Chain A
Amino acid sequence: MLGYYVDLAIRSLKRSPGLTLLMILAVAFGVAASMTSYSVFRAVSGDPIPWKSSQLYVPQIDIWGPKGRLDQTDNNDPPDAMDYAEAVDLMRAHRAKFQSAMYRVSPSIVPPDPTMHPINVGGHAVYSEFFPMLDVPFKYGSGWSAESDAQRAAVVVISSKLNQKLFGGANSVGKTLDIDGKDYRVVGVLDNWNPKPVFYDVVNTGGFTTEQEDVFLPFQRAIDVAMPNDGNTNCSEMPKGSGFVGLQQSTCVWIAYMAELDDKAAAAAYKDYLDGYFREQKAAGGFDWPLNNRLRNLPEWLASEHVVPSDTKISLVVALGLLVVCLVNTAGLLLAKFLRRSSEISVRRALGAPRMAIYTQFLIEAGTVGLTGGLLGLLLTWVGVWGVSWVLPKEISTLAHIDVSLLVLTLLVAVVTTMLAGLYPTFRASRVQPALQLKSN
């Protein structure tokens, strides 16, 4: 019976090719526009570390008080980064399972190959716990030890891309690398690890950036050699001292911080510790404003930092609106198409077809339109994703891609929504009074 209905549907659709084409095109464009926007949205709003994001926390301590609030819209949020003193205090207290203060660096590297000019790389100065905390995958070697942190050892972890560029992809663990004119020993080479957004430091990277993360070196080592920070520095008052040392003594914030807290109890205990830290400082005369700390887990943190560009969300809203219009349109056209065949329906009903049979027949016809529209929509989605790579900023457009799940979803959305749009027209078709129609003809 199903095959017969499909055959009927195709015959009926062929009978009015103009109307059919209109419906198919409407479904195809609607689905393609929303799937294209969705592919971009999916790329920028995904959880970068889904197995662990609820255990990773970003602490914020209100070291500036109300006078530091620049932006009135941010709900009295404390600074979203740390000053040096605070970051070092928190690291020293070591209250979480894993934690790391970090800041973005942009040093130069003199390649071992003397014919190459010096190059510039991006990266982060981090503590040893950064690697186990974020489950960073290694191709060769590993991160450094806590002792190396303490000794301020000249060690470095490099990306597989930099390893490819400088050492031809060979195991470079143990080799020496000239960073900012000083020698560092390579202790680890990362496997492909390029999380987007750069969730561990959205303050200094904006989350989405075309810049690579090529080197990771010990935090205190970078401070010792005065490797300057590359990223945002926010001050509520000008530093008194000058240079990088002046920055470290100031209340300017420029350091990102992340801690792993495995359960609610650990998080609550950590929050208590932060509040205690604030009260201690307040008692010492540092702060004269009320307690206003935050401890957000990663998803909450990414939301509060507005990491997903609002343009992406607006596009998605508008594209979904377009899909709705296309479906209303399809519903109207299906209604016209089905009611035009009132006499055919009447004949079938008069010959004993139950309402259910009419339902099935017309829903299959709607589904056929949806499927055809979906197939065309697939093609248009492909064009769309290719097109957005031309018009959107590179750091975002390079993330949008087509994969099997998007293809399946496109078809599914096309068929399901068209059948939904076909529900009312089908209902009307099944209510056609056979007697009335047969008489009038």
Chain B
Amino acid sequence: MTLHPMIAALRKHKAGVVLIAMQIALTLAIVCNAIFIIYARVENVRRPTGMDESNLFMVTQQWVGAPSGDDAASIQKLDAMQREDLNTLRSLSDVESVTPVDTLPLFPSSWNGSVALKPGTDLRSGTARSTYYFGDEQLLKTLGLHLIAGRNFTAADITNKGFRDPAEASMVIITKALADKLYPQGDAVGKVIYLDGGNKPTTIIGEVERLQVPSVDSWASSFVWNSTIEPMRLNANFSRYAIRAKPGRLDAAMRAVPPALYAANPMRVLDDDSIKSFKDIRAEAYRADIGMAVLMGVVCVILLAVTAAGIVGLTSFWVGQRHRQIGVRRALGARKVDILHYFQLENLLIAGTGAVIGIALAIGLNMVLMENFAMDRMPVVYVLCGLVIVMVLGQVAVFVPARRASNVPPVVATRTV
């Protein structure tokens, strides 16, 4: 069959053709951008933090009327209170291990700076940006991190400092990502770095495979795997503890914490938000991403359904309009399958034209989103994916009316002429 008579026929109802093509173009543009957004969000949520997240929870508590933490004596007093808490928590029967922490991956609180290979570099222009985690010798075990080179901290390595004390640690464990950035030859362990533009050398004593930074916001995306662990307890009027419960004892361990801490010292704040399982921390961190993915998914489904319905509706109308012509073709010897193919090919032609315009629109929409909302450039594969979806959708939608057209009996040609 040649395309010429088909195009000539389409000319007879330009408006309908233009409307369907437009609809397909817009659908393609929106669907491939939406799928791209969904994919990016799902990728974000699926990346592992590097921790063993099961049986892990975090406690945040605040002491009432605590010493200021501005002088050495009060810092030691705060540290004594923190060590007392650690002992209390470690003695709980459902608890496997405990470490003091300043924050955890995905928790909305972080301490970020930069590390440099040379002393006295500007804070903001070091060799690599990094997040700092503070903990003791049980941090690796409690968070379930994989040490891949060097050694863990020992109890003797652990020091303490006031929360706002600028002092830097003499040794750190860093993530492989950060180590590779600083020392691309892969021999970072034993080397010296300088933290936050300081002049005091810090030795890298170990490397962990992976540890995500706390923030999931876009500003942290450039250094999302650059973490530095310092062997320190931070002393302030509040403290945080990461706790690994014994397998299957997470709920029991979480329930046991408030009474135990209140018994040790009642003058503290422990409220609804104080004790959080890591599962909840993760859910809260990615709620926006998952929400966006769900919204885009719903929009896609509605869009595709509406477009399919539109194609069915308009094609049905055309079939009705050409009822007699179909009968004539059948009477002149066209088979059912020829009629079916005619409508399928017609749809392919219209959808194809719409899709070509749609590709341009999709790229345009992506550029608008990049310009205004800091979105990434959409890889071509999403456009192709959208293209396949709308073409298949068109064929599926046109099948029902086309089938009805192919069932028009040849005898129609002889009637009412």
Q: Which chain A residues have a beta carbon within 8 Å of chain B's beta carbons?
A: 19, 22, 25-26, 29-30, 33, 37, 67-71, 73, 106, 108, 110, 117-120, 180-182, 226, 228, 235-240, 242-247, 309-311, 313-315, 317-319, 321-322, 324-326, 328-329, 331-333, 335-337, 339-340, 388, 391-394, 424, 428
Q: Which residues of A contact B310 (CB under 8 A)?
A: 22, 26, 328-329, 332-333
B65 at the interface (CB under 8 A from A): yes
A319 to chain B, nearest CB (A): 7
Which of B23, B162, B167 has the most chain A CB atoms closer than 10 A to its own CB? B23
9 A-B residue pairs with Cβ-Cβ distance under 8 Å, sorted by A, are: A19-B313, A33-B299, A69-B124, A71-B219, A110-B267, A310-B374, A318-B33, A318-B34, A337-B317
Q: Is the CB of A244 within 8 A of B68?
A: yes
Contact partner, A329, options B23, B296, B365, Cβ 8 Å: B23
Contact partner, B16, options A226, A313, A336, Cβ 8 Å: A336
- Which of chain B's residues has its CB closest to A247's CB? B164
Q: Which residues of B contact A333 (CB under 8 A)?
A: 310, 313-314
Q: Is the CB of B20 within 8 A of A120?
A: no
Q: Is the CB of B64 within 8 A of A30?
A: no
**Given A242-B165, A391-B294; A332-B19 close (CB under 8 Å):** yes
Q: Is the CB of A331 within 8 A of B19?
A: yes
Interface bits B191-212 vs A (CB < 8 Å: 1, else 0): 0000011100000000000000
Q: Is the CB of B34 within 8 A of A22?
A: no
B58 to chain A, nearest CB (A): 16
The stretch that binds A, out of B92-100, B245-253, B300-308, B328-336, is B300-308
**Given A19-B313, A108-B64, A180-B64; A321-B15 close (CB under 8 Å):** no
CA distance A339 to B270 in the complex (A): 71
Q: Is the CB of B16 within 8 A of A393?
A: no
Interface bits B42-70 vs A (CB < 8 Å: 1, else 0): 00000000000000000000111110111
The stretch that binds A, out of B149-157, B181-189, B284-292, is B284-292
Contact partner, A243, options B29, B70, B291, B313, Cβ 8 Å: B70
- Which of chain A's residues has its CB closest to B310's CB? A329
CA distance A30 to B318 in the complex (A): 25
Q: Is the CB of B162 within 8 A of A243?
A: yes
- Which of chain B's residues has its CB closest to A237's CB? B123
- Which of chain A's residues has its CB closest to B219's CB? A71
A166 to chain B, nearest CB (A): 14
CA distance A37 to B30 in the complex (A): 15
B241 to chain A, nearest CB (A): 16
CA distance A391 to B38 in the complex (A): 14
**Given A332-B19, A336-B16, A388-B295; A243-B164 close (CB under 8 Å):** yes
Q: Is the CB of B317 within 8 A of A336?
A: yes
Given contacts A118-B269, A337-B317, could you give 20 more A-B pairs where the C-beta distance is less than 8 Å? A25-B309, A26-B306, A29-B306, A108-B268, A110-B267, A118-B64, A120-B269, A181-B64, A239-B166, A243-B69, A244-B70, A310-B374, A311-B292, A313-B373, A314-B375, A325-B27, A329-B23, A333-B314, A336-B16, A428-B15
Q: Is the CB of A240 within 8 A of B166?
A: yes
CA distance A49 to B275 in the complex (A): 36
Contact partner, A30, options B122, B123, B306, Cβ 8 Å: B306
B37 at the interface (CB under 8 A from A): yes
A36 to chain B, nearest CB (A): 9
Q: Is the CB of A321 within 8 A of B30?
A: yes
CA distance A244 to B237 in the complex (A): 12
**Given A228-B236, A333-B313; A117-B269 close (CB under 8 Å):** yes
CA distance A120 to B273 in the complex (A): 10
B369 at the interface (CB under 8 A from A): yes
- Which residues of chain B from 22 to 40 have a CB within 8 Å of any chain A CB? 22-23, 26-27, 29-30, 33-34, 37
B190 at the interface (CB under 8 A from A): no
Which of A243, A244, A310, A313 has the most chain B CB atoms closer than 10 A to its own CB? A243
